[in-house]
């Protein structure tokens, strides 16, 4: 190649493709000038040759049996001082013990946590363990706020702001609250149980932002 040809080659933008143990890689050499067209082509090749590199794979969540779910509900109900009967009947009405349950408003999982509520509680609503733990902790936070189970359940169902607004159980939550209390054999003014361990008490105290910080709303079941 003559010297002039070599100079012309150096001024020409080149694009190469090579493979490695990490997959397809692109080699771009722009010694003389940068080419927008070559960059667009490079990006197109990346997406065409390595689509898996950009695919989002959601983390797998365990599929638990109903017996395992019951054990988790019992565990966290005891940890946060929630009567077992209330915990069980709330889950039955909210999700029917279906860990993939989703309401038309977007509430998710066993405890039917809204994504915004889950973020406030710093739990992954897709994970049944975290969903249950977060829901029980949130119910305890609401009980500590209102000091009555009917009001705590109403706040869980339609949001604490509505309980404050109506100065009691909102109309749309009355059947919901009555069903849980009736099936639980618990009175509205029954006192909450003490958390089962010091860890439980500390967890509620340390992770108890204002209920309004993760206001949740969902349909009447």
* C-alpha dihedral, 108 to 109 to 113 to 115, nearest 10°: -50
Q: Rounded to whole angstroms, how far apart are CA atoms 192 and 173? A: 20
Taking the alpha carbons of 207, 208, 209, 213 in that order, is the dihedral positive or negative? positive
Length of the chain: 221
- Closest Cα partner for 141 from 156, 162, 157? 156
From 81, 63, 156, 176, select the one nearest 114 (Cα to Cα): 156
CA distance 147 to 152: 7
CA distance 133 to 68: 14
**Annotated catalytic residue 94:** yes
Catalytic residue among 92, 94, 133, 215: 94
Tokens 């080659």 label which residue?
A: 9
Distance CA 13, CA 57 (A): 36
Active-site residue numbers? 94
């Amino acid at each position: 190649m003559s010297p002039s040809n070599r100079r012309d080659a150096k001024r020409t933008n080149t694009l190469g493709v090579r493979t490695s143990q990490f997959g397809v890689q692109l080699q771009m050499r722009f010694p003389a000038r940068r080419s927008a067209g070559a960059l667009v082509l490079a990006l197109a090749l990346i997406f065409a040759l390595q689509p898996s590199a950009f695919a989002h794979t959601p983390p797998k969540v365990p599929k638990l049996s109903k017996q395992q779910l019951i054990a988790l509900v019992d565990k966290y109900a005891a940890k946060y001082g929630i009567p077992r009967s209330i915990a069980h009947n709330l889950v039955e009405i909210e999700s029917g013990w279906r860990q993939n349950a989703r309401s038309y408003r977007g509430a998710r999982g066993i405890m039917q946590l809204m994504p915004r509520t889950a973020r406030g509680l710093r739990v992954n609503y897709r994970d049944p363990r975290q969903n249950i733990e977060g829901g029980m902790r949130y119910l305890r936070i609401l009980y500590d706020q209102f000091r009555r189970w009917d009001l705590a359940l109403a706040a869980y169902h339609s949001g604490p702001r509505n309980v404050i607004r109506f100065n009691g159980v909102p109309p749309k939550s009355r059947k919901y609250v009555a069903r849980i209390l009736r099936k639980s054999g618990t009175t509205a003014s029954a006192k909450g149980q003490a958390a089962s361990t010091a860890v439980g008490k500390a967890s509620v105290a340390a992770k108890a932002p204002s209920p309004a910080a993760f206001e949740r709303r969902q349909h009447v079941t």
